A = this chain, B = another copy of it.
Amino acid sequence: MKLSELSAETGVAPATIKYYLRERLLPQGERLSATRADYAAAHVERLRLVRALVDGARLSLDEVRRVVDALDHPPQSRHELLGIAQAAIDGPAPDVAVSDATWATLSTLGWDGCAPQSVTHLQAALDTAARAGVAVTPARLRVYAEAMADVAVADLDGFADDPRRQEPAGAVHYVAVGTVVTDPVLVALRRLAQEHESRRRYAHGPDEGRRP
């Protein structure tokens, strides 16, 4: 298909598609002449993915490029694959020192075998929250971690069930994309859960928000 058709199919403006081509987020089409190229179904799928990562998961273009590179160069073992997919999403380890309190909490969870570079992402998030005046106590960190352990079991169950995991590219797609695009689902659920819990604790008037 022509670039104009790729645009019509995906709803992405031609100028944006050309930008993604220049930025290597989308592979070049098959060149037909100096000014024309042919695009295939794989371009439609990749373009939808890039838009989902940008709009839905709010990744920067550099982060999208890392996910796309991991998709194009998948590793061998399944555990290694998960690690590369995560690194592709999360970017380089931030240059922060992991506190003893953080290691202690991870240790009580049995998570102190996790790669130090993964732990620095957690520490950076904790440090940012603390700088904003929101210190996450070890007790609360533990509640959060246990909730995320349940989420991860469901994530990995889904990974084991998904037919695409059989081919490495499908597996990276599942892990990298599946995790990133469902982060906003978790965030939205957290808001709903807070709203429900807030109503349960504090609301006394008629329930104005109920579904009509």
Contact = CB atoms under 8 A, between A and B. Distances in A.
A63 B191 CA distance: 16
A58 B56 contact: no
A83 B122 contact: no
A125 interface: yes
A8 interface: no
Contact of A152 (B111, B152, B193): B193
A69 interface: no
A108 interface: no
Contacts of A116: 209, 211-212
Interface residues of A, number: 94
Contacts of A129: 52, 56, 178, 181-182, 184-185
Given A132-B177, A134-B178, A189-B148, A125 B184 contact: yes
A103 interface: yes
A101 interface: no
Contacts of A207: 113
A128 B131 CA distance: 32
A43 interface: no
Interface in A107-150: 109-116, 118-119, 121-122, 124-126, 128-129, 131-134, 136-137, 140-141, 143-150
A78 interface: yes
Q: Which of A51, A152, A177 has the most CB of B within 10 A?
A: A152
6 contacts: A78-B202, A82-B195, A114-B192, A121-B188, A126-B185, A151-B190
